[in-house]
Structure formats: C-alpha cells, structure tokens
C-alpha cells in the first residue's frame, strides 16, 4: 500500500495545483513539469522512496499523506522526543519547499530558539521567522550559536553534517538517504544504504555513548538509518 490517502488527495487536488501554479515563477520548466503527476493517480500505490521529495513536501503540506506515513511529521516527533527542539536549530538540506522547517518552527519559537536553514536549492524563501540561507553548508560554516543540527535525507551534505556535529559538539539528528556519498577511505563505496550504515557504525564505534540509532517505522518503509548524537 502507498503513502497517499486517496480521499484526502481528491479533496485537496485543486488546492495543491493552485498552490503550485501560483508559485510557478519559482520553478524552471523541468521543475514545474514534475507536478503534472498531481493531475493523475500516479502516486497512489507508491512508497515514500518512489515519490520525489519535491512532491512529498507538497503532499505533506496539504495533509494528503496517510496517518503515520508522513516522513516530515514522523521526523518531527522524533526530534521532539529527543528534546532537540530546544535552543537554536540548524537544518541542512531543507529542499525546495522546507516542509520539515515549517513543522518545527512553532515549537522552536515557543521554546525561544532560532531556526536557520541552509540549502542552495531552496525555492520558497518567504517564511517569516526562519533564517533562510540559500547556500551550501560546508565544513567552514559557522555553527557556534547552534545547539542542534538536523538533516532529513540531506544527501550530499550528510557527511559534513555528521562531522561538524561531532567536532563541534552539537546535538544531531540525521535521517540518511539512499545515495552513496563515500568520500574517503574506510566508508566503502556500495550503493544505497550501505554507505550510511558504514558511516553510522564508524561513529558508533568511535563515540559509543553519544550515538543512538533509530529506524523508520514499519509504516514508512524507508530502510535507511537515522542517527542521533547527544552533545556532552
């Protein structure tokens, strides 16, 4: 069974299309063409990993994902359980529409913290209350005032996020994606989840008492590790 709730999807289809087309100036032709699928039933039986994140972000925003299957809401729940929404949060790789940031913002504000996001590809930059930096997060990015680094499927930024969290003593929650971004000896190239597992195992062995590993719930069917690190 897929992640889309058909009933909710039909109810929200027009609204979703209106939203995309009222924001079409943000997209190039290729970007906007992805949304043509909203007109069809194409995603009804698709699992999370078979839906482009650009669409998942919009599906989540409009609440058309079945109960318990929305990765943004589930990741938010985990952040909350770990008490990681206290203090200043930096999300790396938020995507075109920063759906996780949108969900986290009220709680972070309530706790008196600041939310900063980094993504060179972000398209929706008009969120009040979020410090949006349309740039790459690198090993030289200043995170002095950050308490927690967050990355949901942050792809190419994954290793930098993990390294910065350990080197600069930050809380960390990262949900790895299925790509292989091996960049140095020791994390053997394979494909999909093996790289993320190797990276997680490396940090677990090295910093055992600081690392906690999680899996996505059975509902989500995303077989990639989630790694948390608690600052000392």
Ligand X SMILES: C[S@@+](CC[C@H](N)C(=O)[O-])C[C@H]1O[C@@H](n2cnc3c(N)ncnc32)[C@H](O)[C@@H]1O
Position among 5, 74, 119, 210 found at the interface with ligand X (CB under 6 A): 119
> Residues 128, 130, 133, 134: is their CA dihedral positive or negative?
negative
Q: Does position 68 bind ligand X by CB under 6 A? A: no
Applying CB under 6 A, does 92 fall inside the site for ligand X?
Answer: yes
Q: Can you tell me which of 43, 76, 137, 224 binds ligand X, judged by CB under 6 A?
A: 137
Angle CA 200–143–75, to nearest 5: 50
Strand duo 148-152 + 171-175: pairing: parallel
Q: Which distant-in-sequence residues (6+ apart) come within 8 Å of 166 by Cβ? A: 172, 203, 207, 210, 229
- Spatial neighbors of 204 by CB under 8 A, at least 6 apart, are 211, 213
Stretch that binds ligand X, among 18-26, 90-98, 123-131, 188-196 (CB under 6 A): 90-98
As a whole number of angstroms, the distance between CA 188 and CA 32 comes to 36
Residue closer to ligand X, measured from CB, 87 or 93: 93
- 19 vs 204, which CB is nearer to ligand X? 19
Q: How many CA atoms lie within 13 A of 89 on its CB side?
A: 31
Q: Kindly state the smallest distance separating residue 224's Cβ from ligand X, in Å.
A: 12
Return the residues of window 16-55 that contact ligand X according to CB under 6 A: 53
Least distance CB 57 / ligand X (angstroms)? 5
With respect to ligand X, which residue has the nearer C-beta, 157 or 220? 157
The single residue among 95, 113, 132, 143 that binds ligand X, judged by CB under 6 A, is 95
* CB neighbour list of residue 54: distance below 8 Å, 6 or more residues apart: 31, 34, 95, 96, 97
Site size toward ligand X (CB under 6 A) is 20
Identity of the residue, 193 or 210, whose beta carbon is nearer to ligand X in the bound complex: 193
Strands 226-229 and 211-214, by their bridges, are: antiparallel
Chain residues binding ligand X by CB under 6 A are: 53, 57, 92-95, 99, 118-121, 136-137, 152-157, 177
């Amino acid at each position: 069974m897929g992640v889309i709730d058909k009933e909710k999807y039909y109810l929200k289809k027009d609204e979703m299309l209106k939203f995309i087309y009222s924001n079409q100036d943000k997209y190039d032709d290729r970007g906007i063409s992805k949304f043509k699928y909203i007109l069809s039933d194409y995603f009804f039986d698709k699992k999370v990993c078979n839906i482009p994140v650009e669409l998942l972000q919009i599906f989540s925003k409009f609440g058309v994902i079945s109960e318990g299957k929305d990765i943004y809401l589930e990741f938010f729940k985990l952040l909350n359980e770990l008490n990681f929404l206290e203090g200043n949060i930096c999300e790396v790789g938020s995507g075109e529409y920063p759906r996780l940031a949108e969900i986290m913002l009220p709680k972070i504000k309530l706790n008196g913290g600041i939310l900063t996001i980094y993504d060179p590809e972000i398209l929706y930059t008009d969120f009040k209350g979020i410090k949006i930096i349309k740039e790459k997060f690198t090993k030289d990015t200043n995170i002095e005032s950050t308490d927690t680094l967050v990355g949901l499927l942050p792809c190419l930024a994954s290793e930098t996020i993990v390294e910065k969290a350990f080197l600069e003593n930050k809380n960390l929650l990262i949900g790895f994606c299925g790509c292989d971004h091996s960049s140095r000896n020791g994390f053997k190239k394979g494909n999909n989840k093996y790289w993320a597992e190797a990276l997680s195992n490396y940090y677990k062995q090295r910093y055992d008492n600081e690392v906690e590993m999680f899996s996505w719930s059975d509902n989500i069917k995303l077989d990639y590790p989630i790694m948390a690190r608690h600052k000392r």
